[in-house]
Amino acid sequence: MHLTETQIRSIIGELILEGFKDDQRYLAEKYPQKAAELSELGPKWIAWLTSRFGVSPTKEEVHPFEDAIVTITKFARKDAGIGEKYRANEQFRNVIDAAFPVDARNWQAPNDATSMTVDDMEKILGLSERKKQRFNVDQADDIEGDRVGKVGPWNLWMPTTRERSCKIAQYDPVTLEPKTTWCTARTAGSNLFYNYVGRPDADMTLFYVIKDNAETTTDWLSIGFINGKPKLLGEDGGISVDRENVGLTPKRLKNILGSYHDEIIEKLTERNRELGGVHPAHQKIKDAAQSVDALKYLTVGLSADETTDLKGKVLEEPNLSPDVLAALADDRDEQVRWLVGQNTSTPAEVLMKLADDSIWKVRKSAAQNLSTPVEALMKLASDKHADVHAGVAQNPSSPADVLRQMASSRDLNIILSLTKNPSTPPDILRQLSEDPRRSEMYIRSGIAMNPSTPPDILRQMAVDVELRLFVPMNPSIPPDVLVQMASDDNWNIRYNIAWNPSTPSTTLKKLLGDSNESVRNAAQESLAKREVEIKESMLRQLVRRLAR
């Protein structure tokens, strides 16, 4: 049999696409908090991330994944326009070639990102939209208010605003080119100062320690404190680095600062202690989460991308006012509206509005939200976009009747979402497990792990070679099945059994003597957790008796 050129091209395309999906899936599992962003990236960008953060990295990147994906996501949206601008606009082409000499760079056009670093992309983004993205660093107010002190030739600073961060870290007065590669001191592109010190999940402070007449790489130091202590793990691109983003360790920092080290660390520690865990910049984020006026004030003068980033940080705050959520739900940026739809605090009436949004991605976020009213979910179940249907199919708040209707869909994403939804009726899970058309492994494994799957189906799957690994992950699996599987030769299966809340304590105690260390540790932690739960339950019962 001879394959036509079209057939060969089709086969090659399918193989490439499968590899892309595997890489995308690996990154999503490794960085689950960024799964949504990864799902929006095309093969070129997944390949870029995989070559630096995948199973076997082939290229180095000084910035961590969490910073890199911020830049990648923005660059991916604009690289086509940047490439066209480079070809058609001589002035822009000259600016790019001056900043990146042709004979010294590893790429031909500024939209060829394969060999670019994060800093290359940030610089190109800044040059491509300088007028739009540039914020007013020249008019940063007096930075002396952010001075912590001076020890020998070293100036100690704690920047409190993005503008002061740039001014303290220093930049060329004509080109505005930063003297450092710190993402918290970028004068163009995405400045992540508020993303660091405004984080709601950590007490973080950035200190800049800069030498008089700074010239060499180690004359600029960023020293980050988390929860009152300096974080000196030697992480390139982390919060404690030299000018070129090379990580600082306690030993390296001491070698750089010499005899001034102890006094400098003492002063920084004391200043951090005075903050009481609340950085001034973090307070601005918190204020913006409570007041529409404070939000507007915080975003004045920012580019569209920087505004989106900052609003994203505001939406991460644990306490958001309904007024702020309603205002952000009307934002012109679809990414902001999508984030509002994802937020668990978003009121039902706002979600009703997002369910009618013109952008399918925003409607999908409403379809996935547990707080979305039933009437909106029923409407979204008949949306014109299949991905919105999948959002409804995975929402535990979706009515059983709606989920039943979706079981006849030919879209595998919708079926997969149903298998993962704990609210999917048992009869539908049974139907899907017995349907020969639904034999795909990822669908069957979803049924195996669904707590609503009927016990008899789980028993059948427990003897299926392909599914035995997934069945012990199901919290509803009959205990006797777990007992039978506890002697399996595959340690991964025994490991999953050790973590299962339905595994009998007697079986867990036997696993304490398992030949595999991971299995033993899992069994030990599960038993310890149960002991704590028993003690807490007994204490609650005692309190109730005493209260009578």
Q: How would DSSP label each residue in 222-285?
A: EEEEETTEE--S--TTSSSEETT--B--HHHHHHHHGGGHHHHHHHHHHHHHHHTT--HHHHHH
Q: Tell me what pLDDT residue 52 has.
A: 92
Report yes or no on whether pTM surpasses 0.85: no
- Token duo for residue 15: 């193989």
Q: How far is CA 81 from CA 47, 324, 538, in A?
A: 21, 33, 65
Among residues of the chain, what percentage have pLDDT more than 70? 91
Q: What is the pLDDT of residues 322-360, one digit of tens each?
A: 999 999 999 999 999 999 999 999 999 999 999 999 999
In CATH terms, are 282-478 and 479-548 the same topology?
Answer: yes
Among residues of the chain, what percentage have pLDDT more than 90? 56
Q: Tell me what pLDDT residue 526 has.
A: 94
* Spans of all domains in the chain: 5-128, 137-277, 282-478, 479-548
At 432, the amino acid letter reads L
- Token duo for residue 355: 């369910």
Q: Tell me what pLDDT residue 123 has.
A: 87
When pLDDT is cut at 50, 70 and 90, the band that residue 13 belongs to is very low
Domain 282-478: which CATH number of 1.25.10.10, 3.30.200.20, 3.40.50.2300, 3.90.400.10: 1.25.10.10
List helix spans (H) across 463-516.
Answer: 479-485, 491-499, 505-511
Q: What is the pLDDT of residues 51-106, one digit of tens each?
A: 999 888 888 888 999 899 999 999 998 888 898 989 888 878 888 888 889 888 88
403 vs 427: CA distance, rounded Å: 11
- Token duo for residue 101: 């000499």
Helix-, strand-, coil-residue percentages of the chain, each rounded to 5 = 60, 5, 35
284 versus 31: which is more confidently predicted? 31
454 vs 450: CA distance, rounded Å: 9
The pLDDT of residue 190 is above 50: yes
Q: What is the pLDDT of residues 24-51, one digit of tens each?
A: 888 988 998 888 888 888 888 899 999 9
- Token duo for residue 106: 């590893």
Q: For residue 318, what is the DSSP state?
A: S
Coil/strand/helix, residue 60: coil
Q: Tell me what pLDDT residue 15 has.
A: 39
Q: Tell me what pLDDT residue 286 has.
A: 87
Q: For residue 350, what is the DSSP state?
A: H
Q: Tell me what pLDDT residue 301 has.
A: 60
**Averaged confidence pLDDT in the chain:** 88
When pLDDT is cut at 50, 70 and 90, the band that residue 174 belongs to is low
The pLDDT of residue 5 is above 80: no
548 vs 546: CA distance, rounded Å: 6
When pLDDT is cut at 50, 70 and 90, the band that residue 131 belongs to is very low
The pLDDT of residue 193 is above 90: no
Q: Tell me what pLDDT residue 16 has.
A: 43
Q: Tell me what pLDDT residue 135 has.
A: 57
The pLDDT of residue 392 is above 90: yes
Q: What is the pLDDT of residues 475-519, one digit of tens each?
A: 999 999 999 999 999 999 999 999 999 999 999 999 999 999 999
Is-contact 450 432, C-beta < 8 A?
no
When pLDDT is cut at 50, 70 and 90, the band that residue 12 belongs to is very low
At 219, the amino acid letter reads D
* Mean pLDDT, residues 413-422: 93
Q: Tell me what pLDDT residue 519 has.
A: 95
Is-contact 319 350, C-beta < 8 A?
no
Strand-pair partners of 224: 206
* Mean pLDDT, residues 216-222: 96
Q: What is the CATH number of domain 479-548?
A: 1.25.10
Q: Tell me what pLDDT residue 220 has.
A: 97
